[in-house]
């Protein structure tokens, strides 16, 4: 079962990807994680990617897909995997599709966790992070025991720049321009499934497992 997770930043697709991976016993693969692992282990692909990253450039799609295919060729991926954060654009999706075709493989489902922009701005604006231990909270959904204070280490919680409304709106704009076209792309391939991401976390997960069976 090979799955791609789609959805705007803050839609909760990363959380759902982890839950799917746990339930179905397949790895949750984020491109950020595999880049870091390759760089840390000093692999040839990792060193190639690092050249671009050190210059603040995006890693080319072909190289990203090479690193991804290298990861999914591991034994733990034999029953499938959940891709989170890739592809982000139509060209990336095409490079991935062609590379999988070459090894007689394909993606089974693209799951879109659909949440309106307004909900995302409110949801992310309520996030709080601990600068000390890195714990995360939400003023409405996962509040700390004492308002504004980390349960774990007692430091004062902060609103990260990433979660400020103006930043979130910019990220959503980029998403609509670059990533949203993937919804139509996978719809045409007849593998797109959409779930209502405004429901509770467990309800969203139940909708996804009903699709996956």
Measured N-to-C along each axis, helices 90-102 and 61-72 cross at an angle, to the nearest 10 degrees, of 40
**Which of 206, 2, 4 has its CA nearest to residue 112?**
4
The question of whether 13 is a catalytic residue gets the answer yes
The question of whether 78 is a catalytic residue gets the answer no
Task: Please pick, among 2, 88, 123, 128, the residue that the annotation labels catalytic.
Answer: 88
Task: Please pick, among 18, 50, 155, 160, the residue that the annotation labels catalytic.
Answer: 160
Q: What gap in Å lies between CA 203 and CA 152, rounded to an integer?
A: 28
Task: Please pick, among 13, 66, 71, 123, the residue that the annotation labels catalytic.
Answer: 13
Task: Please pick, among 2, 66, 123, 127, the residue that the annotation labels catalytic.
Answer: 127
3 state SS of 137? strand
Task: Please pick, among 18, 50, 171, 193, the residue that the annotation labels catalytic.
Answer: 171
The question of whether 160 is a catalytic residue gets the answer yes
* Cβ 96 vs Cβ 87: under 8 Å: yes
Count of Cβ atoms closer than 10 Å to residue 210 Cβ? 10
The question of whether 71 is a catalytic residue gets the answer no
The question of whether 128 is a catalytic residue gets the answer no
Per-residue b/e over 124-160, b at no fewer than 16 CB within 10 Å? bebbbbbeeeebebeeeeeebeeeeebeeeeeebeee
Catalytic residues: 13, 88, 127, 160, 171
């Amino acid at each position: 079962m090979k799955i791609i997770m789609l959805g705007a930043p803050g839609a909760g697709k990363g959380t759902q990807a982890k839950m799917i991976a746990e339930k179905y016993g397949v790895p949750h693969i984020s491109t950020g994680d595999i880049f870091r692992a390759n760089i840390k282990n000093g692999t040839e692909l990792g060193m190639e990617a690092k050249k671009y990253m050190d210059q603040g450039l995006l890693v080319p799609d072909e190289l990203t897909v090479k690193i991804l295919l290298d990861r999914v060729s591991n034994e733990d991926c034999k029953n499938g995997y959940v891709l989170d954060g890739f592809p982000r654009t139509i060209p990336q999706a095409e490079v991935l599709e062609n590379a999988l075709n070459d090894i007689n493989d394909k993606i089974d489902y693209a799951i879109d966790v659909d949440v309106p922009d307004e909900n995302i701005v409110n949801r992310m604006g309520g996030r709080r992070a601990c600068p000390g231990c890195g714990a995360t909270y939400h003023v409405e959904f996962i509040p700390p025991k004492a308002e504004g204070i980390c349960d774990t280490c007692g430091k004062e919680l902060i609103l990260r720049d990433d979660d400020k409304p103006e930043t979130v709106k910019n990220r959503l704009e980029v998403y609509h321009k670059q990533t949203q076209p993937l919804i139509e792309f996978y719809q045409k391939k007849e593998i797109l499934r959409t779930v209502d991401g405004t429901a509770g976390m467990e309800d969203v997960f139940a909708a996804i497992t009903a699709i996956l069976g």
